[in-house]
């Protein structure tokens, strides 16, 4: 059986052994040096000024949206666009923080918001921000989206939880907007068991993220940031220990995740390369079956960091046949949450405005994916190609 996730870590055995030795050594296990070292290494790898680690991609998403509100870039009631094909915790902060979530349809070839779908939505809603989701390592015309957002004063943020390492227009995804979020959950590209990160080049966003991550206090701020906050609020060193400057939560990661992040990041380029090599082999054989599948466009992407292989079948009958053929051989799942506005949670709490989302709808009805992990052998890839191409309807 080819499962979605083959192992918890890249280089599973040696990573588990290193983790056991790390625990045995003793010392601090709550947020500390390991996490800080991982943050510095990750910022460097990503090409960002700041990286702030979180307990998950979901808490990273929440904190990033909240940081934009602390900085008055967004206020309650503002319309924020999001990809109609995404993960629930991309939208959750918009709902919980009192913003107006606006679903934007995706392009069927890239599974992402395109400048065209963004423009259509902007004409109808006065979007103040857009939270992109780079689904399964893919992206659309990111340069076009950045320039549309700049022209129309829209804050751009990126949910890069599914696209760690994808490069487009010479830059890694997650670095095109005011902030980009990442997930290190075991099923994703790089694992710290659970974990997340926000990268940004904006000093103020980085400071707010560290306040939000830890109860609203200043403990993880730089000395000059602490000094300025304490002076502004007339707080001495004794009371500074328990002074809470803004809304915050406990979204901190542990040293276990920081330690694992440092180890796994050393393999990140290898992991991305292997997944990309698999993706290209699979795509050449499978996506080219245009009678069975809608094409996926990747020519504009310089490095495709894909961790699960997407398929959108031309008909429901093809999708049903694939479910039958894969049973007991390959683990397949729906293409994330499909048209997320059809999810029960969204019907309960999402926007009351109905949007036409024809492409998200096709993905909902006929999309699926299977795992693309770095340990897939040549034989595994041949098996996948056989299952997903060698049949007739
Ligand atoms: C696009 C996207 N955003 C956010 C998340 C949440 O990440 P985490 O599981 O680390 O909370 C996921 C999780 O799968 C995701 O796919």
Find out whether 38 and 31 touch, Cβ atoms under 8 Å.
no
User: Does the C-beta of 159 come closer than 6 Å to ligand 1?
Assistant: yes
The encoded tokens of residue 197 equal: 């990160």
C-alpha to C-alpha distance for 367 and 218, rounded to whole angstroms: 45
C-alpha to C-alpha distance for 162 and 352, rounded to whole angstroms: 28
Query: Is 188 tagged catalytic?
Result: yes
User: Does the C-beta of 57 come closer than 6 Å to ligand 1?
Assistant: yes
Minimum-distance ligand 1 atom for the alpha carbon of 187: 14
User: What integer pLDDT is reported at residue 46 of this predicted model?
Assistant: 98
Find out whether 303 and 321 touch, Cβ atoms under 8 Å.
no
What does the H/E/C string look like for the chain?
Answer: CECCCCCCCCCHHHHHHHHHHHHHCCCCCECCHHHHHHHHHHHHHHCCCEEEEECCHHHHHHHHHHHHHHCCCCCCCCEEEEECCCCHHHHHHHHHCCCEEEEECCCCCCCCCCHHHHHHHHHHCCEEEEEEECHHHCCCCHHHHHHHHHHCCCEEEEECCCCCCCEECCEECCCCCCEEEEECCCCCCCCCCCCEEEEECCHHHHHHHHHHHECCCCCCCCHHHHHHHHHHCCCCHHHHCCCCCCCCCECCCEHHHHHHHHHHHCCHHHHHHHHHHHHHHHHHHHCCCCCCECCCCCCCEEECCCCEEEEEECCHHHHHHHHHHHCCCECEEECCCCCHHHCHHHHHHCCCCCCCCHHHHHHHHHEEEEECCCCCCHHHHHHHHHHHHCCCC
Which strands, in side-by-side order, build the sheet including 301-303?
171-172, 167-168, 301-303
Which strands, in side-by-side order, build the sheet including 100-104?
50-54, 196-200, 179-183, 155-159, 127-133, 79-83, 100-104
Average pLDDT for runs of 10 along the chain of length 393: 93 97 97 98 98 98 98 98 98 97 97 98 96 98 98 98 98 98 96 98 98 98 97 98 98 98 98 98 96 97 97 96 96 97 94 86 97 95 97 89
Give 236 Cα–ligand 1 centroid separation in angstroms.
40
Active-site option among 188, 189, 287, 364: 188
In the block, residue with structure tokens 């904190």 = 63
Q: How many CB atoms lie within 10 A of CB 364?
A: 21
- Residue nearest ligand 1's atom 10 by CA: 57
User: Does the C-beta of 257 come closer than 6 Å to ligand 1?
Assistant: no
Minimum-distance ligand 1 atom for the alpha carbon of 89: 4
C-alpha to C-alpha distance for 3 and 144, rounded to whole angstroms: 37
User: Does the C-beta of 104 come closer than 6 Å to ligand 1?
Assistant: no
Minimum-distance ligand 1 atom for the alpha carbon of 196: 10
Output phi, psi for 73, to 5 deg.
Answer: -75, -30
Burial grade of 25 (CB within 10 A; 0-12, 13-18, 19 or more): exposed
C-alpha to C-alpha distance for 182 and 382, rounded to whole angstroms: 31
Range(s) of the chain covered by CATH 3.90.1150.10: 268-389
C-alpha to C-alpha distance for 279 and 273, rounded to whole angstroms: 10
The crossing angle, in degrees rounded to 10, of helices 57-70 and 88-96 is 30
Range(s) of the chain covered by CATH 3.40.640.10: 12-265
The rounded radius of gyration (Å) of the Cα atoms in the chain is 21
User: What integer pLDDT is reported at residue 351 of this predicted model?
Assistant: 75
Q: Of 3.40.190.10, 3.90.1710.10, 3.40.50.720, 3.90.1150.10, which CATH number belongs to 268-389?
A: 3.90.1150.10
Find out whether 86 and 337 touch, Cβ atoms under 8 Å.
yes
Task: Provide the CATH number for the domain formed by 12-265 in this structure.
Answer: 3.40.640.10
Give 167 Cα–ligand 1 centroid separation in angstroms.
19
The encoded tokens of residue 203 equal: 């000093």
């Amino acid at each position: 059986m080819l499962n979605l996730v083959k192992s918890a870590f890249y280089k599973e055995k040696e990573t588990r052994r290193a983790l056991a030795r790390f625990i045995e050594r003793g010392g601090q296990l709550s947020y500390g040096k390991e996490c800080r070292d991982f943050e510095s290494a990750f910022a460097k790898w990503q090409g960002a000024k700041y990286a702030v680690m979180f307990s998950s991609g979901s808490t990273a998403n929440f904190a990033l949206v909240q940081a934009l509100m602390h900085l008055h870039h967004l206020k309650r009631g503002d319309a924020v666009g999001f990809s109609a094909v995404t993960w629930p915790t991309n939208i959750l902060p918009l709902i919980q923080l009192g913003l107006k979530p606006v679903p934007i349809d995706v392009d069927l070839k890239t599974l992402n918001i395109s400048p065209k779908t963004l423009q259509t939505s902007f004409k109808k809603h006065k979007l103040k921000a857009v939270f992109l989701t780079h689904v399964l390592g893919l992206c659309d015309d990111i340069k076009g989206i950045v320039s549309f957002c700049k022209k129309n004063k829209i804050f751009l943020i990126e949910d890069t939880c599914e696209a760690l390492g994808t490069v487009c227009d010479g830059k890694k995804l997650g670095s095109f907007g005011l902030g980009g979020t990442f997930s290190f959950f075991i099923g994703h590209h790089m694992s710290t068991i659970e974990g997340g990160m926000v990268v940004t080049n904006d000093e103020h966003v980085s400071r707010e993220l560290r306040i939000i991550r830890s109860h609203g206090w200043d403990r993880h701020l730089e000395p000059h940031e602490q000094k300025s906050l304490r002076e502004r609020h007339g707080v001495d060193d004794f009371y500074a220990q328990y002074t809470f400057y803004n809304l915050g939560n406990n979204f901190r990661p542990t040293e276990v995740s920081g330690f694992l992040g440092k180890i796994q990041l050393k393999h990140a380029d290898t992991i991305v390369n292997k997944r990309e090599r698999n993706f290209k082999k699979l795509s050449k054989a499978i996506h080219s079956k245009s009678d069975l599948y809608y094409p996926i466009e990747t020519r504009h992407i310089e490095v495709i960091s894909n961790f699960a292989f997407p398929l959108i079948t031309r008909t429901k009958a093809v999708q049903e046949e694939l479910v039958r053929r894969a049973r007991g051989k390959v683990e397949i799942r729906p293409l994330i949450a499909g048209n997320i506005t059809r999810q029960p949670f969204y019907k309960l709490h999402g926007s009351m405005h109905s949007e036409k989302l024809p492409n998200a709808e096709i993905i909902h009805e006929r999309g699926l994916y299977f795992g693309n992990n770095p340990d897939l052998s040549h034989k595994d890839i041949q098996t996948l190609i056989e299952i997903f191409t060698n049949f007739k309807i």
